[in-house]
């Protein structure tokens, strides 16, 4: 287990995400991830960084059971992803919010319907759904665009929409792959504050980013991957802003 620096803030049985010597290989002899072990506790906010191709996206995909590890074990919200039956995957995913790098929005549905999707899969009553979607859109500043379709939104608006969908269900774990990549500095901070706010309310947050300014500004725990290996795991340097 490589922990360069200090032990994670929330180690042990209380962790919501635990990786034990996880490796992933798509081609024999090459490793997208190699022997990675780490833990993420309730309310913890971790920046996942590293150069392109370091394995950040692969690691996130394994956490929400979109990929299976080639070796090792991944425990997410008490479920062993490696042994999860296909029919149990949706139930796990409903407890995880994911912001994809390419947003993955439904182009034929409105902004409101895209955000509401996360509530539809858990059968949220219509009135509650409407209220929560509106509140979430207001938080990301898209309430006036709720009847528009994603393709009519700017890149930044689409990104905020993806974040709204990931957060509307109050997930226990939030995985965000470059969530501020298309945003201007002001919006970046607004969105990061939203994510930090989710962490403050108990969500375990993983944010993959190349933005060192952001990492510096927030001073949270940083996990750095290089060539698929855990190169650095540094603790919180200062409390959330």
Partner 1 sequence: MSPRWLSRPRYFLRTAWSGLRESPVTGGISVVTIALCLLLVGSFALLVANMERILDRFGEEFRVSAYLEDNLTDADLARLRERVAAAPGVERVDLVTKEAALERFRASHIGRAALLDGMEDNPLPASLELVLAPEHRNADALERLAEAVDGFPGIAEFGYGADWVSGYHGAVALVRGVAMAIGAVLVLATLLIVTNTIRLAVYARRDEVSILRLVGGSRTFIAIPYLLEGAAQGLVGGLVGLALLFALFHLALPVFAGSLELLLGYVSPSFLEPRACAGLVAVGAGLGVLGSAAALGQGRLGE
Minimum CB distance to partner 1 smaller for 118 or for 192: 118
Least distance from C-beta 220 to partner 1, angstroms?
26
Least distance from C-beta 108 to partner 1, angstroms?
6
Most distant CA atoms of the chain, gap in Å: 53
Rounded Cα gap, residues 225 and 110, in angstroms: 37
Q: Residues 214, 191, 12, CA angle at the centre, nearest 5°?
A: 70
Minimum CB distance to partner 1 smaller for 98 or for 183: 98
Least distance from C-beta 32 to partner 1, angstroms?
19
Indicate the Cα dihedral angle 183, 189, 193, 199, nearest 10°. 70
> What single string gives the DSSP state of each residue in 13-75?
TT-SEEEEEEEE-SBTTB-SEEEEEEEE-TT-EEEEE-STTSSHHHHHHHHTTSS--SEEEEE
Is residue 38 within 8 Å of 209, Cβ to Cβ?
no
Minimum CB distance to partner 1 smaller for 22 or for 60: 60
Least distance from C-beta 219 to partner 1, angstroms?
31
Minimum CB distance to partner 1 smaller for 204 or for 222: 204
Least distance from C-beta 172 to partner 1, angstroms?
12
Minimum CB distance to partner 1 smaller for 102 or for 186: 102
Question: Given the rule CB under 8 A, which residues bind partner 1?
Answer: 64, 66, 86-87, 89-96, 98, 100, 104-109, 117-118, 120-129, 165
């Amino acid at each position: 287990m490589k922990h360069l620096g200090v032990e994670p803030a929330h180690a042990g049985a209380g962790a919501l995400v635990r990786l034990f010597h996880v490796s992933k290989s798509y081609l024999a002899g090459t490793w997208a991830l190699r022997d990675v072990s780490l833990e993420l506790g309730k309310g913890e906010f971790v920046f996942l960084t590293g150069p392109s191709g370091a394995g950040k996206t692969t690691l996130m995909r394994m956490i929400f059971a979109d990929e299976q590890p080639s070796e090792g074990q991944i425990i997410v919200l008490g479920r062993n992803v490696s042994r999860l039956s296909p029919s149990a995957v949706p139930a796990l995913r409903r407890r995880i919010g994911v912001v994809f790098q390419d947003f993955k929005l439904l182009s034929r549905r409105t902004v409101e319907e895209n955000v509401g999707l996360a509530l539809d899969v858990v059968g949220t009553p219509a009135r509650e759904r409407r209220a929560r979607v509106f509140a979430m859109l207001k938080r990301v500043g898209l309430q006036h665009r709720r009847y528009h379709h994603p393709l009519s939104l700017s890149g930044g608006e689409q990104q905020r929409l993806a974040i709204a969908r990931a957060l509307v269900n109050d997930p226990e774990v939030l995985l965000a792959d470059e969530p501020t990549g298309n945003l201007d500095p002001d919006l970046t901070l607004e969105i990061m504050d939203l994510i930090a706010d989710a962490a403050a309310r108990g969500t375990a947050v993983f944010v993959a980013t190349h933005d060192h300014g952001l990492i510096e500004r927030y001073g949270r725990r940083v996990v750095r991957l290089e060539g698929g290996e855990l190169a650095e795991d540094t603790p919180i340097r200062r409390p959330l802003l």
